[in-house]
Amino acid sequence: MTEQSVEQCDVVVIGGGPGGSTAATLLARRGHKVIALEKARHPRFHIGESLLPMNLPIFERLGVLDKVRALGVFKAGADFEANNERGYNTYAFARAIGNSPPHAYQVWRQDFDKMLYDHARDSGADAREGQEVLRVEQINSRETLLDVRSDDGREYRVQARYVVDASGRDAFLSGKLKLRRKNDQHQSAAIFGHFRGAETRAGEDAGNISIYSFAHGWMWMIPLPDGVMSVGAVCRPEYLKQRKGRTVEFLLDTLKASPALWKRIEHAELIDNDVRVTGNYSYDSTTMGGPGWVLVGDAFAFLDPVFSSGVYLAMSGAEQAVDVVDRALREPAREAALLRKLEKRQRAGMARFSFFIYRFNGPVMQQMFREPRNAFRLEEGVISMLAGDLFDTPQVLWRLQMFKLVYAFCGLLDWRRWRAERRYRLEQARLQFSGGTTPLDKA
Check whether 316 has a pLDDT greater than 80.
yes
CA proximity to 36, closest of 173, 174, 166? 166
Q: Are 231 and 220 in contact, with CB atoms under 8 Å apart?
A: yes
Looking at 42-56, 243-257, 386-400, 417-431, which range is the least confident one? 417-431
Check whether 82 has a pLDDT greater than 60.
yes
What is the pLDDT, as a whole number, of residue 281? Answer: 65
The confidence band for 434, taking pLDDT boundaries of 50, 70 and 90, is low
The confidence band for 250, taking pLDDT boundaries of 50, 70 and 90, is very high
Q: In this structure, how many other beta carbons lie within 10 angstroms of the beta carbon of residue 126?
A: 18
Query: CA dist 104 to 65, 78, 80, 221, 393, Å?
Result: 11, 10, 17, 15, 19
Of all helices (H) and strands (E), which one includes residue 50? none
Check whether 428 has a pLDDT greater than 90.
no
Check whether 438 has a pLDDT greater than 60.
no
More confident of the two residues 145 and 373? 145
Surface-to-core class of residue 258, CB atoms within 10 Å of its CB (0-12 exposed, 13-18 middle, 19+ buried): buried
The confidence band for 363, taking pLDDT boundaries of 50, 70 and 90, is confident
Of all helices (H) and strands (E), which one includes residue 98? none
Helical residues (DSSP H) of 30-128, grouped into ranges:
55-62, 65-71, 109-122
What separation, in Å, do the N-terminal and C-terminal C-alpha atoms of the chain show? Answer: 42
What is the pLDDT, as a whole number, of residue 321? Answer: 98
Output the pTM of the full model.
0.93
How remote is the C-alpha of 171 from its chain's centroid? Answer: 14
> What is the average pLDDT value for the chain, to the nearest integer?
92
Looking at 96-110, 111-125, 236-250, 265-279, which range is the least confident one? 236-250
CA distance 168 to 299: 5
Check whether 433 has a pLDDT greater than 70.
no
Q: What percent of the chain has a predicted confidence (pLDDT) above 70?
A: 96
CA distance 221 to 219: 7
What is the pLDDT, as a whole number, of residue 437? Answer: 35
What is the pLDDT, as a whole number, of residue 280? Answer: 60
Classify the C-alpha dihedral 402-404-406-412 as positive or negative: negative
- DSSP structure class, residue 164: E
Strand 6-14 with 34-38, pairing: parallel
Q: HSE (CB half, 13 Å, CA atoms) of 396?
A: 23
The confidence band for 303, taking pLDDT boundaries of 50, 70 and 90, is confident
CA proximity to 359, closest of 283, 304, 396? 304
- DSSP structure class, residue 302: B
Q: In this structure, how many other beta carbons lie within 10 angstroms of the beta carbon of residue 47?
A: 15
Check whether 424 has a pLDDT greater than 90.
no
What is the pLDDT, as a whole number, of residue 70? Answer: 97
Check whether 436 has a pLDDT greater than 70.
no
Q: What percent of the chain has a predicted confidence (pLDDT) above 90?
A: 75
Mean local confidence (pLDDT), 412-436: 78
- DSSP structure class, residue 266: T
CA distance 393 to 60: 20
Q: Cα angle vertex 72, ends 69, 73, to 5°?
A: 115
CATH number, span 189-281+435-442: 3.30.9.100
Check whether 3 has a pLDDT greater than 80.
no
Domain with residues 3-72+107-183+283-346, CATH architecture: 3-Layer(bba) Sandwich (3.50)
Check whether 208 has a pLDDT greater than 80.
yes
What is the pLDDT, as a whole number, of residue 353? Answer: 93
What is the pLDDT, as a whole number, of residue 441? Answer: 39
Classify the C-alpha dihedral 206-228-64-318 as positive or negative: positive
Check whether 140 has a pLDDT greater than 60.
yes
Encoded amino acid at 354, one letter: S
Residue boundaries of the structural domains of the chain: 3-72+107-183+283-346, 189-281+435-442, 349-430
What is the pLDDT, as a whole number, of residue 177? Answer: 96
How remote is the C-alpha of 374 from its chain's centroid? Answer: 28
Encoded amino acid at 187, one letter: Q
